[in-house]
Amino acid sequence: MNANTYAFLVHNENDWNDFEPFLREAQTAGLTTWAYLVPPTECPGVDDTCSTYLPHKKDYLAWARAIGALADEYAVLKAWAMDDFYYNRAFFTPAYTGQIRAAAGIDFYPVVYVHQLTEAFTISYANVMDSLILPFNDSPNRNTVWTGSLRGHLDTAVALLAAKSKKLLLMPYAATLSATTVTPDVGYVRTVTAVGIEYVKAGKIAGVVQYALPLTPDLPQAGDVSFAHTGRGGLVFTVHSNTDTQAGDFAAASTAVRLDPGSTSCSMVLWHQDNWGDNTPGYHMKQALIGGTKVWERDIASEGTDWYTSSPRDLTPYLTNGVGTLMLRLYEAKGVANYRVLVRFDDIRLTGCHIANPDFETTGGWTMTRGNGPVFGGTHISDPVYSTTVHSTVAALYTT
C-alpha cells in the first residue's frame, strides 16, 4: 500500500512476544516500525493495575527501557506511541513523560484529539514529545461521517504545535470507531487521507497514519450496515444519544437541480426512512428545500421505520431560469438531550429535471453543510469487500 511505516500495537497478552519476531522481519524489509502502547485506562487487567498487560504491566519506565533495548538492536524501530495520552495525563505528568521518553531513547508520539490540544497542554508537553498523533473524528462530536471540520482542526493544531517547533501526524479512522453511529466507508477514508497528504506535501504536518486499516482482503467494514434503499449508497443524517442539540440545528446536503432540455416543469419524489417510529413528535424533522423554501417535511415520529416515498412535489415555481438549489436536511425543531436518530434519503426521482448523483452511489455531486456540531451527515456507501477497496484507495493516495 506504499506505506513506509508500521505501528505495532502492544495490547493483548502475547503482543510483546510477537514484537521482536516482527522486528526481525521488518529489519530485513527495511520497514520503519513504531511500538504502539496503551495507557492505564486501556490496558488489560483489573483495579487499574494493568495486571495482565505483559510483561511490564503499569511500569511504563520498564516498558520504555525494553523498547529502547530493542531499538538498539533493530534500527527500524524509530518511535513509540501512547494511545489516549491526554485522558491519562494525571499519570503521564510532564516529568514522568520526560523520564520514559529518555529511557526509550527514540521518538515519543502521544495521541491527542484536537479539542484536547490547548496552548497549556502544548506548553507543558512540547519538550517531552517529538511529534503528536492527531486522530480525526470531528472531535468533540465523535463521528466518522463528517469531514468538513478537518481543515480547521488541522490548521488549529498546526499553529499550536508550530509555536513549539513540533509537528503532528494525522490519523484517519479506517476502522470502526466505538460509540459512533455510522462506520467509516471508503469515501470517508479517501477524503481524510487526501487532505492529510496535501498538508504533508505543504510541509505543515509530518505524516498520515491509518487507524487499524484492515490488511485481510475481501472483508466488509466491521459493524457496517447499508443505508441505501437500493444499491449500496445513501444519504444519512444522525444525532447521537446523550447529545444536546438546540432548536435550529441542522445538517444538510445540497445540489443543483436543472430543467431538462425542452422541459417547462420539474417534480420530485423522495425515498426516505428513519429509525424512530411513530412516537415523541415535534423534535427531529426531515426536510427538502428549494432555494431556501421548504417544499416537503416529515416529523421522524410521524411514520414507522420502513422506507416511504413522498408525494410528488412541484419544484417549478422555485426555479430561476430553470435552475435551483435542492437541499435535503435533518432539522431540529426543538432541542434534545437524549434522542438518538438516524435519517436516510435515497433514490430521488425527478420528472422534467435532473440532479447529479440522485442515487448516492458515488460521493460526488452534493455539498454538505451544518448549522451546529451535534447534527451531522454525509453520503455513505457500503462495500462488501471494504478491506480490499480501502487498501487500494490508500495505496493510490500514498503514491502521491
Confidence of residue 48 (pLDDT cuts 50, 70, 90): confident
pLDDT of residue 170: 98
Domain boundaries defined on the chain: 5-221+384-398, 233-381
pLDDT-derived band at 186, boundaries 50, 70, 90? very high
DSSP letters for 322-382? TEEEEEEEEEESS--SS--EEEEEEEEEEESEE-S-TT--SS-S-EEEESSTT-EEEEEE-
Q: Half-sphere exposure of residue 336, counting CA atoms within 13 Å on the CB side?
A: 23
As a whole number, mean pLDDT of residues 113-132 equals 97
Residue 245 pLDDT greater than 80, yes or no: yes
Q: Angle 279-285-291 (CA atoms, 0-180°, nearest 5)?
A: 160
* DSSP type of residue 227: -
Q: Across all residues in the chain, what is the average pLDDT?
A: 96
CA angle 83, 95, 19 (to 5 degrees): 40
- Mean pLDDT on 13-21: 96
User: C-alpha grid cell for residue 324?
Assistant: 435551483
Range 38-41 contact pairs with CB under 8 angstroms and sequence separation of 24 or more: 38/9, 38/10, 38/11, 38/82, 38/83, 38/84, 39/82, 39/83, 39/84, 39/85, 39/87, 39/88, 39/91, 39/92, 40/88, 40/91, 41/84, 41/87, 41/88
Separation between Cα atoms, residue 102 and residue 340, nearest integer Å? 46
Q: Is the pLDDT assigned to residue 21 strictly greater than 80?
A: yes
Ramachandran angles phi, psi of 253, nearest 5°: -125, 130
pLDDT at residue 88, as a whole number: 97
* Amino acid 279: pLDDT: 81
Identify the weakest region by mean pLDDT among 42-51, 198-207, 321-330. Answer: 42-51
pTM equals 0.95
How many other C-beta atoms lie within 10 A of the C-beta of residue 206?
A: 19
Query: Is the predicted pLDDT of residue 4 greater than 90, yes or no?
Result: yes
Judged against a pLDDT cut of 90, whether residue 47 lies above it is answered with no
* Domain 5-221+384-398 in CATH 3.20.20.80: yes
Q: Are 6 and 25 in contact (CB under 8 A)?
A: no
Output the pLDDT for position 234.
Answer: 98
* Residue range 42-50: mean pLDDT, rounded: 86
Q: What is residue 320's DSSP assignment?
A: B
Question: So what's the pLDDT on residue 278?
Answer: 80
Using alpha carbons, select from 172, 171, 176, 178 the residue that is nearest to residue 220: 176
* pLDDT tens per residue, range 335-376: 999 988 999 999 999 999 999 999 999 989 999 999 987 999
Radius of gyration of the chain (CA): 24
Predicted confidence (pLDDT) per residue in 57-108, tens digit: 999 999 999 999 999 999 999 999 999 999 999 999 999 999 999 999 999 9
Residues in the chain, total: 400
**Over 90: is that where the pLDDT of 400 sits?**
no
C-beta separation of 326 from 262 below 8 A: no
Can you give the pLDDT at residue 46?
Answer: 76
In the predicted structure, residue 45 carries a pLDDT above the cut 90? no
Q: Are 1 and 398 in contact (CB under 8 A)?
A: yes
Q: Is the pLDDT of residue 314 over 90?
A: yes
What are the cell numbers at 399? 503514491
Mean pLDDT of 301-311: 95
Q: What is the mean pLDDT of residues 307-335?
A: 97
Domain 233-381: give its CATH code.
Answer: 2.60.120
Mean pLDDT of 310-338: 97
pLDDT at 323: 98
Average pLDDT over residues 134-141: 94
Which residues sit opposite 350 in a β-bridge? 268
